[in-house]
Amino acid sequence: AVEKQKIIQAVARCIHSSLVELIISVLSKDNGHLHE
């Protein structure tokens, strides 16, 4: 159970970090268009 939890946490971190990067890039693009 502990190993499963660690794996789930690791996967969650990977998904979270890539989601954050995706959101930041989308926001950056939106801001760029707004400033233009």
Reported as a single tens digit per residue, the pLDDT across 1-36 is 889 999 999 999 999 999 999 999 999 887 666 555
- From residue 16, how far is each of 12, 13, 20, 33, 35 by CA, in Å? 6, 5, 6, 26, 28
**Residue 1: its pLDDT value, please?**
80
Question: Does the model's pTM come out above 0.75?
Answer: no
**Residue 6: its pLDDT value, please?**
96
Q: How far apart are CA 23 and CA 29, in angstroms?
A: 10
**Residue 2: its pLDDT value, please?**
87
